[in-house]
């Protein structure tokens, strides 16, 4: 069955003319080099380190798939981080505070085509009233030559998920960012299948997710709620459903919903298993999925499946 939002406080005006697919997830870690080494052992091609704007105090490395990436991120310059302000969402402060509690998936990002229109839509929907943040940085092609990449970010906030960050990301030079040479992985990962949040009451988040993704229809199941975006699915499960699906202990949701897992589609399930075995990565097979537990993957559950 489908679930339509019922709250009269949320206006129909906010729906985006084009629904927003998944763009990336942030995997916050305390040791960026160790995270890069882990992801290489998992069979991924891992990008070189990058530095964000100084006011963020963060460095990252990118694991790229077609149209989606995992952003390995650490806080490197704490003293430089700008604080949150009334209409300023501090990316650095959010991830600093997240890492003070745990490593893992800290932020979920959808694709944006017009960051200012996204910010206005989020404001109209009552899920965020933040100024757009624009920045550029230098990136490297596979041959080492420098190119410019630029982004505009429109933030949103779910008060029932204070330990999960959300924003839409508009890329200004996508031709310089996306590169098939960075998307060829030994584990045969080829696309994002989805992300999983755990919540005490999954239905509490359907209005937020509908506004955030621009998707009118959400699916209610025995496991919780889900929204299918143009690129990947967002699932919100309760703790019991998460244990049943993945055989893992769920994150602590005493403070609110948490990002728990990222699901990745692979071309060759056997190759994914062989890659983990050759690298000595502890993983389990459950319900046709290869699962790397948070204890192994620096706080994040990584799920590999054939689609």
Residue ranges of domains in the chain:
10-182, 189-306
* pLDDT bucket at 227, cuts 50 / 70 / 90: very high
Residue 5 has pLDDT above 90, yes or no: no
What CATH architecture is 189-306? Roll (3.10)
Tell me what pLDDT residue 17 has: 60
| pLDDT above 90 as % of the chain | 87
What's the rounded mean pLDDT across residues 151-163?
98
Residue 2 has pLDDT above 70, yes or no: no
What's the rounded mean pLDDT across residues 133-157?
88
- Strands laid side by side in the 68-75 sheet: 50-51, 58-65, 68-75, 22-28, 104-112, 165-171, 146-156, 133-140
The one-character DSSP state at 180 is G
Tell me what pLDDT residue 182 has: 95
Query: Which tokens hold the place of 304?
Result: 């590999």
Beta strands in 141-200 (DSSP E): 146-156, 165-171, 189-198
Is 10-182's fold the same as 189-306's?
yes
Q: What is the pairing mode between strands 104-112 and 165-171? A: parallel
| pLDDT above 70 as % of the chain | 94
* pLDDT bucket at 15, cuts 50 / 70 / 90: low
Q: How many helices (H) and strands (E) does the chain have?
A: 7, 17
What's the rounded mean pLDDT across residues 158-172?
98
Place of tokens 């924003």: 167
Tell me what pLDDT residue 63 has: 98
Residue 27 has pLDDT above 70, yes or no: yes
Tell me what pLDDT residue 244 has: 97
Give CA torsion, residues 213, 214, 217, 220, to 10 deg. Answer: 20
Residue 155 has pLDDT above 90, yes or no: yes
Q: Model confidence over 51-60: pLDDT tens digits?
A: 999 899 999 9
Residue 13 has pLDDT above 60, yes or no: no
3-state class (DSSP) for residue 33 = helix
What's the rounded mean pLDDT across residues 223-240?
97
Residue 221 has pLDDT above 90, yes or no: no
Residue 177 has pLDDT above 50, yes or no: yes
Question: What is the C-alpha to C-alpha distance for residues 245 and 239, in angstroms, rounded to an integer?
Answer: 10
Question: What is the C-alpha to C-alpha distance for residues 111 and 271, in angstroms, rounded to an integer?
Answer: 30
Tell me what pLDDT residue 222 has: 86
* pLDDT bucket at 138, cuts 50 / 70 / 90: confident
What CATH architecture is 10-182? Roll (3.10)
What's the rounded mean pLDDT across residues 164-189?
96
- Name the nearest CA neighbour of 189 among 50, 270, 304, 53: 304
């Amino acid at each position: 069955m489908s679930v339509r939002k019922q709250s009269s406080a949320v206006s129909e005006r906010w729906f985006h003319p084009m629904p927003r697919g998944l763009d990336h997830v942030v995997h916050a870690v305390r040791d960026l080099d160790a995270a890069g080494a882990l992801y290489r052992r998992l069979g991924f091609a891992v990008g070189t380190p990058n530095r964000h704007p100084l006011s963020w105090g963060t460095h990252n490395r990118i694991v790229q798939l077609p149209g989606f990436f995992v952003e390995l991120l650490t806080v490197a310059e704490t003293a430089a981080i700008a604080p949150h302000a009334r209409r300023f969402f501090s990316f650095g402060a959010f991830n600093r505070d997240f890492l003070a509690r745990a490593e893992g998936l800290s932020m979920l990002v959808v694709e944006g085509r017009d960051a200012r229109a996204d910010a206005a839509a989020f404001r109209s929907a009552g899920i965020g009233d933040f100024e757009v943040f624009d920045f550029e940085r230098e990136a490297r092609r596979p041959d080492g030559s420098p190119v410019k990449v630029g982004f505009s970010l429109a933030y949103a906030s779910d008060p029932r998920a204070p330990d999960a960050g959300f924003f839409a990301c508009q890329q200004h030079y996508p031709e310089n960012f996306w590169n098939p040479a960075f998307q060829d992985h030994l584990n045969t990962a080829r696309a994002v299948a989805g992300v999983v949040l755990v919540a005490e009451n999954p239905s509490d988040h359907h209005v937020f997710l509908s506004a955030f993704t621009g998707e009118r229809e959400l699916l209610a199941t025995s496991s919780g709620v889900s929204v299918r975006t143009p690129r990947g699915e967002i699932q919100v499960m309760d703790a019991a459903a998460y244990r049943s699906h993945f055989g893992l202990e769920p994150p602590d949701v005493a403070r609110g919903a948490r990002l728990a897992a990222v699901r990745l589609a692979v071309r060759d399930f056997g190759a994914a298993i062989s890659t983990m075995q050759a690298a000595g990565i502890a993983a389990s097979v459950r319900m046709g999925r290869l699962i790397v537990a948070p204890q192994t993957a620096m706080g994040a559950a990584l799920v590999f499946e054939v689609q």
